[in-house]
Structure 1
Amino acid sequence: MTSHAILASLFSALVWLVIIGGLRQRQKLRPVAAILLFVLPLLAGNVYYFGWVNPEQQKQAAIDASAARLATLPVWRTVKVQQPALYQQAYDELITHLRAGMPPQQAIDSLRPLVADLLNQRINAARDEDLVDYMQASLEQMKQIRQHSTGQCFRFLFPQVKGGVNVSELLPKAVTDRELQSMDVLLQHSRGAEQSVDLKQGRVQLQSVVRGLYDRWGSDLQTLNTPAEPGVDEGKLCDMTIDLYQSVLALPGKDSANVLRIIISGTGN
């Protein structure tokens, strides 16, 4: 109970005690009735406060704290400045999830798809080193989630098929923090002109990567294009995806960024 609530309760009790005392002096109340008149309102008031008012205040305080924290987090603090409408959408979704009883960190993690869409829009304007760093952080997440389970890895990579995962429950904080920081840097430096992409050279390098993958995986590689197909081998899809990005990131920085843009934009033919 807050100090204001305690003072109000004590004041009410004192006033009520004076009234009851006056009635007793005039012999208009029996002792038992006087006690009940004093105790019952106080009991009802405390039940009301601790049963409804205080829990609601605590819930609202937790919601306010999480909403304030969102504005200080990497990525979201940048989105708030660069894309106010998107930030407001994220803020509204966060409040909705919190009011529904979702844990704060899970509610914040649930906003990731909103950032993913923005990132995809910024890929072509991102600096090469920022794009490569972000994908390296994402690759580390893929590997660690794959170690947890095949199903979790599949859901992480293909959320449109089976829904996503709560990465904060699966990964060390250092791993998730690194990805958020790399995303934040990418967004901060991707508001200018698009980077030049050598499509011809990039496609040659991508074809070389794919040939290497085909040597290792054979015709199963084609299932990367149809993850929603019934009966797909989820573990193999995860492993092939990891292999793909490992192979691309093994290229020199400029070449790696070039191929990544082609893959993400779907211009690899």
Structure 2
Amino acid sequence: MNWAHVLLAGYIGVVIAIVVGMFRKKGWLGKISGAVVFVVAIIAWNLFDVHYLIPRENPDYGLTEEQQFEKAMLSNPAFQVIKEQEPALTQKIISQAAQMKKAGSSEQQVIDAIQPQILQLQMARLQQAPDANVIEYMKINLEQIAAVAKIGDDECFRFLFPAVKGGINPARLVPREIMDRRMASDMSMMYASHGPKKHTVTAEEKQLALQDLQSISPGLVQRYGPDIQIMADPTKAVGKEKIACEIVQDLWSQVLKLPTARSAGVIRLMLSAEMQ
């Protein structure tokens, strides 16, 4: 099993969690001119860059599965940070992956087991990351979406909603320079969330974020009308792939137009555990 492939796919597939819809929790967002109800839909996809996945020329003969997995982990900069900050979680992932391999699990099954654990960690770190790191995180997400959208509407839709029509390998479509910056950004965010300038989310920040979302919602409804329902049910986007891509980019572009602190607050809220 190519552990480098498994690790990168498992990590990146959850770090780049793209919120593709708004949300409506009881008592939080009211109906807007009788429009559709917005929901949160976080879509994770395996974005892995081929230059991280090329196996070493010399196989790790004589090493156990756990040793091979840990060696692959140490060659991945993002996982180095996780091992440094969360040694217990790291060991759990190593043991789990090795056991699954011995039990005959496929690479994808191992990836699927790793992703929720990394997702939970990343979501927690974003809550503590300074505003600048949170903003950079989302800006790079948008760059990746835009790069795929330039190739075609169908590719963009598959990139955002792999469960509907099947996904793509964005490593062939997203420029390496963007992928490299994303990995560096993730590492910076992880370190900053544990640094002296780490952020603390307040009740006031959450309330302001909700108000900002309320101000963004009417514009989206006005521009896209009934098609906004795509965000609640992506299967309705078949034949409307271009619109689906535009809504996702429009949503996050509007969020990023807010003042820095407020934009970061909205991103934290929409990617927080309580919104899942």
TM-score range, shorter chain: 0.5 to 0.7
For 2:190, the equivalent position in structure 1 comes to: 187
Match among 237, 243, 249 for residue 236 of structure 1? 243
Q: 2:191 is matched by which residue type in structure 1?
A: Q
Match among 149, 152, 155 for residue 149 of structure 1? 152
Q: Render the CA deviation track for 1:1-30: whole Å, top value 9, x for unaligned.
A: xxxxxxxxxxxxxxxxxxxxxxxxxxxxxx
1:217 aligns with 2:217: no
Work out the CA distance in 1 between the residues paired with 2:167 and 2:93.
17
For 2:121, the equivalent position in structure 1 comes to: 118
Q: 2:184 is matched by which residue type in structure 1?
A: Q
For 1:52, the equivalent position in structure 2 comes to: none
Structure 1: runs of 5 or more not aligned: 1-56
Deviation of residue 79 (structure 1)? 0.7
Deviation of residue 144 (structure 1)? 0.6
* Count of residue correspondences: 207
Q: 1:152 is matched by which residue type in structure 2?
A: E
Structure 2: runs of 5 or more not aligned: 1-56
Match among 203, 206, 210 for residue 210 of structure 2? 203
Work out the CA distance in 2 between the residues paired with 1:264 and 1:182.
17
Structure 2 SS opposite 1:198: helix
TM-score (norm 2): 0.60
Work out the CA distance in 2 between the residues paired with 1:252 and 1:142.
22
Match runs of 1:1-269 below 5 Å: 58-60=58-60, 68=71, 70-88=73-91, 91=94, 93=97, 115-161=118-164, 164-191=167-194, 194-196=200-202, 197-229=204-236, 231=238, 233-265=240-272
Work out the CA distance in 2 between the residues paired with 1:266 and 1:219.
28
Deviation of residue 173 (structure 1)? 1.4
Give the direction of change, closer, same or farther, for the CA distance of 1:178–1:93 in structure 2 (3 Å limit): farther
Work out the CA distance in 1 between the residues paired with 2:165 and 2:90.
26
Deviation of residue 65 (structure 1)? 8.7
> Identity of aligned pairs, percent?
29
Q: Render the CA deviation track for 1:100-121: whole Å, top value 9, x for unaligned.
A: 998xxxx99x976653342123
Q: 1:156 is matched by which residue type in structure 2?
A: F
Q: Render the CA deviation track for 1:186-227: whole Å, top value 9, x for unaligned.
A: 111224663225233222221222222222212211221222
Work out the CA distance in 2 between the residues paired with 1:59 and 1:207.
55
- Which has the larger Rg? 1
The answer on whether the counterparts of 1:132 and 1:257 sit within 8 Å (CA) in structure 2 is yes
Which has the larger share of helix? 1
Work out the CA distance in 1 between the residues paired with 2:223 and 2:89.
42
Give the direction of change, closer, same or farther, for the CA distance of 1:179–1:164 in structure 2 (3 Å limit): farther
Work out the CA distance in 1 between the residues paired with 2:249 and 2:92.
32
The answer on whether the counterparts of 1:126 and 1:195 sit within 8 Å (CA) in structure 2 is no
Q: 2:156 is matched by which residue type in structure 1?
A: C
TM-score (norm 1): 0.62
